[in-house]
Amino acid sequence: SYRKGGYHAVRMGDPFAAGRYIAQRKLGWGQFSTVWLSYDTRSANYVALKIQKSAAQFAQAAVHEIELLSAIADGDPSNSKSVVRLIDHFKHTGPNGQHPCMVLEFLGDSLLRLIKYNRYKGLDLSKVREMCKCILTALDYLHRELGIIHTDLKPENVLLVSTINPAKDPVRSGLSPALERPEGNPNGAVTVNINEIKLKRKAKRALAKIASRRDSMGGVPSPKPERSLDGINLQCKIVDFGNACWADKQFAEEIQTRQYRAPEVILQSGYSYSADMWSFACIAVELATGEMLFTPKGGQGFSEDEVCHSYFSFVLFSLLGSSCLNDGASGEDASEGKVIHTPKPMLEVEGLKLIAIGGARSKDYFDRHGDLKRIRRLKFWPLDRLLVEKYKFSESDAREFSEFLCPLFDFAPEKRPTAQQCLQHPWMNRGNSSQKESVEENLDVGMSNLRINVAK
């Protein structure tokens, strides 16, 4: 990729924009770009420098991304909407061509790294709520105020806000040469936040050791300290607007990363803001359980092309409301959900019919009777049961969390709550009684957020 039209090779200390920015180390990369921690000599601050590949289609994509990021920055002068801030942009000419460059505020680790760091165990619901609040704030701003659909929400594209100023505190930021590994971090971002968490935990462990020594003299051993994120205030921001679009100027039919893809996108029946809400719900579950909710895989008789088919079936059998499935229930396996027959015809399921009618790809999934092709028996594992049985949630936590999330998994896109409605949901405001009144007042906010028309 480091050839004409491709990435620009960067070495530590390279100057950009007539010497204003000095490259420090690689933070990460994507299909289109490499991202470098850089020192801004004018503001004496660290920034993230995103250097795009130079070929025409990448340069074009950067122009589009800059347009969106500029609108985002203009509409949010106080930088409080949980979306990454564009600070500057310019072009840089190198041996591989002319590269559009974006200067972004420097953020920390991605939620994917946090999930990995937590050994795929899932975070406390109070932490999940903190992250949800940031993501929803960002989505409400993008959708309602700007008319932008992100189209690629996933844990990699949500970064923690770096709590440390690397210029002032290089050791704690993980940027000190002593802590730095020569190859940097294979998965991208500097482990700013995770370093902080590690240090706090270390301090806690030391305290616990002292306490247990004291206890053992008194005879009562204290339990091992929990691996929790207590006392660490986490905030995050949405990044990567490389695929984002104005809702009224869509250009791609196939959007989103498969695991976070909404059913109307799979069936290609048109999409709007509500496709982001589907992905948001998938992320919320993943944060709470540590595992992806939907993991479409090939194999087992499914070709590469049919992966989405198996995925779609999985979506269906995981989430269909019990009301439409009562008739077909047959057999039970507590550890793996209930095995059921599909309701006949499948397309009578409310919401599904709506998106299937206009879906350019509906024929790939449904036969002429409206039944799911090839799939006869499905396993049914409603979200609240999944949370209790597989992830050991308490009954009340599981009930409340799935009451918040299930409406977001509605097949009918326009029935999914908006980001604004989610922010007002009781689950989001648990432990915050002063908000109760506004919740009730605002429950009536209009439900329809679908801008496209499904063809009859």
Residue 286 found at the interface with Mg ion (CB under 5 A) = no
Q: Which does 155 bind (CB under 5 to 8 A by kind): ligand ADP, Mg ion, none?
A: none
Q: Which does 149 bind (CB under 5 to 8 A by kind): Mg ion, ligand ADP, none?
A: none
Nearest residue by C-beta to ligand ADP? 30
Of residues 186-245, those binding Mg ion (CB under 5 A): 240
Q: Which does 71 bind (CB under 5 to 8 A by kind): ligand ADP, Mg ion, none?
A: none
| Segment lying near Mg ion (by CB under 5 A), choices 3-11, 28-36, 163-171, 295-303 | 28-36
Query: How much helix, strand and coil, in percent to the nearest 5, is found in the chain?
Result: 40, 15, 45
| Contact call for residues 324 and 349 (beta carbons, < 8 A) | yes
Q: How far apart are the first and last CA of the chain?
A: 45
152-153-155-156 Cα dihedral, nearest 10 degrees: 30
Q: Which does 33 bind (CB under 5 to 8 A by kind): Mg ion, ligand ADP, none?
A: ligand ADP
How far apart are CB 133 and Mg ion at their closest, in Å? 23
How far apart are CB 65 and Mg ion at their closest, in Å? 11
Instruction: Please state, as a whole number, how many other Cβ atoms lie within 10 Å of the Cβ of residue 381.
Output: 18
Q: How far apart are CA 375 and CA 357, in angstroms?
A: 20
Q: Which does 84 bind (CB under 5 to 8 A by kind): Mg ion, ligand ADP, none?
A: ligand ADP
Q: How far apart are CA 90 and CA 101, in angstroms?
A: 5
Q: How far apart are CA 25 and CA 202, in angstroms?
A: 27
Residues that bind ligand ADP (CB under 6 A): 27-33, 35, 48, 50, 84, 104-107, 110, 156, 159, 188-189, 239-240, 242
Backbone angles phi, psi at 173, to 5 degrees: -75, -10
Residue 370 found at the interface with Mg ion (CB under 5 A) = no
Report whether 26 belongs to an annotated binding site: no
How far apart are CB 400 and ligand ADP at their closest, in Å? 32
Query: 38 exposed, middle or buried (CB, 10 Å; 0-12, 13-18, 19+)?
Result: buried
Binding residue for Mg ion, selected from 30, 184, 321, 358, defined by CB under 5 A: 30
How far apart are CB 59 and Mg ion at their closest, in Å? 17
How far apart are CB 260 and Mg ion at their closest, in Å? 13
How far apart are CB 89 and ligand ADP at their closest, in Å? 13
The secondary element (H helix, E strand) that includes residue 93 is strand 86-94
Collapsed DSSP state (helix, strand, coil) of residue 63: helix
Q: What burial letters (b/e) apply to 418-453, b meaning 16+ CB within 10 Å? A: bbbbbbbbebbbeeeeeeeeeeeeeeeeeeebbbbe
Find the catalytic residue in 109, 140, 152, 384. Answer: 152
In the bound state with ligand ADP, the residue whose beta carbon lies nearer, of 26 and 309, is 26
| Contact call for residues 257 and 151 (beta carbons, < 8 A) | no
In the bound state with ligand ADP, the residue whose beta carbon lies nearer, of 174 and 242, is 242
Q: How far apart are CA 173 and CA 180, in angstroms?
A: 11
In the bound state with ligand ADP, the residue whose beta carbon lies nearer, of 186 and 221, is 186
| Segment lying near Mg ion (by CB under 5 A), choices 23-31, 50-58, 75-83, 319-327 | 23-31
Q: How far apart are CA 200 and CA 190, in angstroms?
A: 18
Q: Which does 261 bind (CB under 5 to 8 A by kind): ligand ADP, Mg ion, none?
A: none
In the bound state with Mg ion, the residue whose beta carbon lies nearer, of 130 and 240, is 240
In the bound state with ligand ADP, the residue whose beta carbon lies nearer, of 100 and 270, is 100
Is 152 tagged catalytic?
yes
Please count the residues of this chain forming the interface with Mg ion, following the rule CB under 5 A.
2
Q: Strand locations in 325-376, DSSP E?
A: 338-341
Task: Report the interface residues with Mg ion, using CB under 5 A.
Answer: 30, 240
**Which residues participate in catalysis according to the annotation?**
152
Annotated binding site for ATP: 50
